[in-house]
């Protein structure tokens, strides 16, 4: 058991280290883009399925409540939380439309649509990104090796792993790094 635990830990550290280093320029660009959008009064719309839905909610909470510093709430919405909207769209139309319809309703030019999919091929996440593009909304994608999500988004963060758990661990690490950088950009006096 000890060897298994150590192996999992080492794999997690290795994948995180490689992914962050490989995406460092994208991370900086993403933080700048988020900060610019929020400073201009826009919002972030974050979405995914399963563990990625939980990550969308987690990252949204860091923006709306706070991350590390006391600061005003930042506008972010997890499109994974309103069960009435999700189930009515899934029932009346199809599950593939649950994020696209919300983006059409809530998204405005200047906002950011942030899709999360470990495979990069979740149909409803892809449709959400397509809706964002149709509405002139900048799109982020967090994925594993790529998939269609990496090709469609304006800025894609890829994780070089085939293990869902390792990909999700990197996604939440990237989310935390982005929250930290956005706070530093928007509230530099808090970090002196």
pLDDT in tens, 96-129: 999 999 999 999 999 999 999 999 999 999 999 9
Q: What φ, ψ does residue 156 adopt, rounded to 5°?
A: -115, 135
What average pLDDT does the structure give for the chain?
97
* 34 has a pLDDT exceeding 90: yes
Residues 47, 53 contacting (CB under 8 angstroms): yes
What residue segments make up the domains of the chain, in order of their start?
A: 2-191
Question: What pTM was estimated for this model as a whole?
Answer: 0.96
Q: Assess contact for 64 and 177: CB atoms under 8 A.
A: no
In the predicted structure, residue 51 carries a pLDDT above the cut 90: yes
**The pLDDT of residue 146 is above 90:** no
Query: In the chain, pLDDT over 70 holds for what percent of residues?
Result: 100
Fold of 2-191: Rossmann fold (3.40.50)
């Amino acid at each position: 058991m000890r060897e298994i635990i150590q192996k999992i830990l080492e794999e997690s550290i290795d994948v995180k280290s490689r992914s962050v280093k490989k995406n460092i320029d994208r991370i900086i660009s993403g933080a700048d883009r988020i900060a610019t959008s929020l400073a201009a009064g826009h919002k972030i719309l974050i979405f995914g399925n399963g563990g990625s839905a939980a990550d969308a909610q987690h990252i949204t909470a860091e923006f709306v409540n706070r991350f590390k510093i006391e600061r005003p709430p930042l506008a972010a919405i997890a499109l994974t939380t309103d069960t009435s909207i999700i189930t009515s769209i899934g029932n009346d139309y199809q599950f593939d439309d649950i994020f696209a319809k919300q983006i059409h309703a809530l998204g405005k030019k200047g906002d950011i649509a942030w899709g999360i999919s470990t495979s990069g091929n979740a149909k409803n996440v892809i449709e959400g990104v397509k809706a964002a593009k149709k509405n002139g909304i900048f799109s982020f994608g967090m994925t594993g090796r790529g998939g269609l999500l990496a090709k469609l988004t304006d800025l894609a963060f890829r994780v070089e792993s085939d293990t869902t758990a390792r990909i999700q661990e990197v996604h939440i690490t990237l989310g935390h790094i982005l929250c930290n950088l956005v706070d530093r950009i928007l509230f530099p006096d808090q970090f002196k």
